[in-house]
């Protein structure tokens, strides 16, 4: 019989199109840019991918189930709040985040100057060390919707651990 190690991995992915006249928020950080992203919330594509990775790891559905974009309560909401609520959902199910690694796919703007601030914001929302939050970024060399500067995509993986020594959820 195999012993459950009390670990789960998660995978998340999201895309949002650019929209003029909106603030750009990525990883919980406001970034000066000529356009933001379209979406019901603050359209933080990076945090949405992280939320889905966490929810997926715990097999708790996805961000659309818990924070539906039809619900006026979530209009314009900070995705950092969605991330905090996601961590609370995990905690209620007996899990806690341990590590996140995410990748932004964006032709513009440059991510590197803001990466550490994003890592810090994600870490703070999840209550984990910034050293446990990795963030990489890449362009797509002009190819596809990212390359045409039509939007930004994000991928995230995470590791969650069973909280405390309680029974398996």
Smallest distance from Mg ion to CB 44, Å = 8
Residue 52, interface with Mg ion (CB under 5 A)?
no
DSSP 101-169: EEEEE-SSS--GGGHHHHHHHHHHHHTS-GGGEEEEEE--TT-HHHHTTSEEEEEEEEEEEE-TT----
Number of residues that bind Mg ion (CB under 5 A): 2
Q: Which of 10, 12, 14, 100 binds Mg ion (CB under 5 A)?
A: 14
Smallest distance from Mg ion to CB 6, Å = 29
Residue 153, interface with Mg ion (CB under 5 A)?
no
Residue 48, interface with Mg ion (CB under 5 A)?
yes
Separation between Cα atoms, residue 89 and residue 55, nearest integer Å: 8
Smallest distance from Mg ion to CB 155, Å = 13
């Amino acid at each position: 019989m195999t012993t459950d190690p009390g670990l789960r991995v998660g995978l998340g992915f999201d895309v949002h199109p650019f929209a003029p006249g909106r603030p750009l928020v990525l990883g919980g950080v406001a970034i000066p840019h000529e356009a933001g992203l379209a979406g019901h919330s603050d359209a933080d594509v990076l945090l949405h991918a992280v939320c889905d990775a966490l929810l997926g790891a715990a097999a708790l559905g996805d961000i659309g189930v818990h924070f539906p974009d039809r619900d006026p309560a979530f209009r314009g909401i900070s995705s950092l709040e969605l991330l905090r609520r996601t961590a609370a959902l995990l905690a209620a199910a007996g899990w806690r985040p341990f590590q996140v690694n995410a990748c932004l796919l964006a032709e513009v703007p440059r991510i590197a100057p803001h990466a550490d601030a994003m890592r810090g914001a994600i870490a703070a929302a999840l209550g984990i060390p910034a050293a446990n939050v990795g963030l990489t970024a890449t362009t797509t060399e002009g190819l596809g919707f990212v390359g045409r500067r039509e939007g930004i995509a994000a991928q995230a993986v995470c590791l969650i651990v069973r909280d405390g020594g309680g029974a398996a959820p």
